[in-house]
C-alpha cells in the first residue's frame, strides 16, 4: 500500500487544483488563519497559471498550422496560398505573477496541514489529501514480446512497480531453461553468440519480476524466437 502526493504530476491537473483551492479555501480562511493577501496571491497564481497553460496550447496549435503552411509553400499541394492567421493573446490578460507558483502552493499546503484546526476532512475538501493505492506483488506477471535487431532477440517488457526483471532462456540445447540476466530497465537484448550460418534454432524465454531483490508474482508465459538460419 502506498499514499500518493496530493500534488498532480501534470500541468492540467495542477491548474485544476489551483482553481479549486482558490475557490474553496476562502470558506476556511478564518478557521485556518489565512490572510486576505494569501487568498489574493492564490487567486492570482491560479488565474495566471490557467491563462499561461491555455495560451501555450493555443500557440502550439497555431504553430502546427504554420508548419503545415510551410510544407505546402515548400512542396506544393492542395491548400490556400493565404498566410495563416497570427496568434493573438486572449482577453482579458491577467496580471503577471512572480515565478514559483507550484512551490508557493506546496508551501501553503504544508502550512495548512500543520494548523491546529486542520482535519483530514478539510484536506479532502481542499484536494490536499493524496490518494491511497494498494498493489500486490504476488499477483504480478510479466508480459514479454520479442523484437529483433541484427539477428539478436530483444525481449520487450514493462517495469511497472517492480525493481527489476529476471530472465531465463532455453536455447534448445538440452539444458532446458538457464539464467540469462537481470535488468532494471526495459528492454533486454540477448547478445549471446548466434548459431553458425545455415543453422537455425528456436530460443525460448521466460521471466519473473524482482521486488527488493526477491522473486515475486508469477513467471511470464514462455515466448520463442527463431535465430540463425
Express each pLDDT in 179-190 by its tens digit.
Answer: 999 988 888 988
pLDDT tens track for 6-52: 888 888 889 999 999 999 999 999 999 999 999 999 999 999 999 99
Q: What is the DSSP string of the chain?
A: -EE--SS-SSHHHHHHHHHHHHHHGGGGTTTTT--HHHHHHHHHHHHHHHHHHHHHHHHHHHHHHHHHHHHHHHH--SS--SPPPPP---SSPPPP--S-HHHHHHHHHHHHHTSTT--HHHHHHTT-S--EE---GGG-----EEEEETTEEEEE---TT-SEEEEEEE-SSSS-SEEEEEESSS-EE--SPPPPTT-EEEEEEEEEEEETTEEES-PPPPEEEEEE-
pLDDT band at 66 (very low <50, low <70, confident <90, very high): confident
In the predicted structure, residue 101 carries a pLDDT above the cut 80 = yes
pLDDT at site 229: 60
pLDDT tens track for 117-175: 999 999 999 999 987 666 788 899 999 999 887 788 999 999 888 889 999 999 988 88
pLDDT at site 3: 52
pLDDT band at 116 (very low <50, low <70, confident <90, very high): very high
pLDDT at site 199: 86
In the predicted structure, residue 88 carries a pLDDT above the cut 90 = no
Sign of CA dihedral 97, 102, 107, 112: positive
Ordered domains of the chain (ranges, CATH):
2-133 (no CATH), 137-228 (2.60.40.10)
Return the higher-pLDDT residue of 49 and 60.
49
The cell numbers describing 183, all together, are 535488468
pLDDT band at 115 (very low <50, low <70, confident <90, very high): very high
List, in order, residues 6 or more apart from 90 with CB less than 8 Å away.
51, 54, 55, 58
pLDDT at site 192: 86
pLDDT at site 71: 83
pLDDT at site 98: 95
pLDDT at site 18: 96
Amino acid at each position: 500500500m502506498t499514499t500518493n502526493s496530493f500534488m498532480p504530476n501534470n500541468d492540467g491537473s495542477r491548474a485544476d487544483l489551483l482553481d479549486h483551492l482558490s475557490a474553496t479555501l476562502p470558506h476556511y480562511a478564518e478557521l485556518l488563519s489565512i490572510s486576505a493577501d494569501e487568498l489574493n496571491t492564490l487567486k492570482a497564481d491560479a488565474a495566471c497559471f490557467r491563462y499561461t497553460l491555455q495560451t501555450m496550447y493555443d500557440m502550439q496549435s497555431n504553430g502546427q498550422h504554420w508548419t503545415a503552411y510551410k510544407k505546402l509553400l515548400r512542396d506544393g499541394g492542395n491548400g490556400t496560398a493565404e498566410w495563416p492567421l497570427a496568434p493573438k493573446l486572449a482577453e482579458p490578460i491577467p496580471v503577471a505573477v512572480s515565478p514559483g507558483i507550484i512551490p508557493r502552493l506546496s508551501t501553503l499546503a504544508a502550512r495548512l496541514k500543520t494548523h491546529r484546526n486542520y482535519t483530514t476532512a478539510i484536506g479532502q475538501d481542499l484536494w490536499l489529501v493524496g490518494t491511497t493505492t494498494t498493489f500486490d506483488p504476488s499477483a504480478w506477471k510479466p508480459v514479454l514480446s520479442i523484437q529483433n535487431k541484427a539477428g539478436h532477440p530483444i525481449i520487450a517488457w514493462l517495469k511497472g512497480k517492480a525493481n527489476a526483471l529476471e530472465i531465463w532462456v532455453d536455447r534448445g540445447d538440452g539444458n532446458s531453461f538457464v539464467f540469462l540476466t537481470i535488468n532494471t530497465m526495459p528492454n533486454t537484448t540477448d547478445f549471446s553468440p548466434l548459431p553458425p550460418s545455415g543453422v537455425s534454432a528456436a530460443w525460448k524465454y521466460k521471466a519473473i519480476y524482482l521486488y527488493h531483490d526477491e522473486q515475486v508474482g508469477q513467471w511470464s508465459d514462455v515466448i520463442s524466437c527463431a535465430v540463425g538460419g
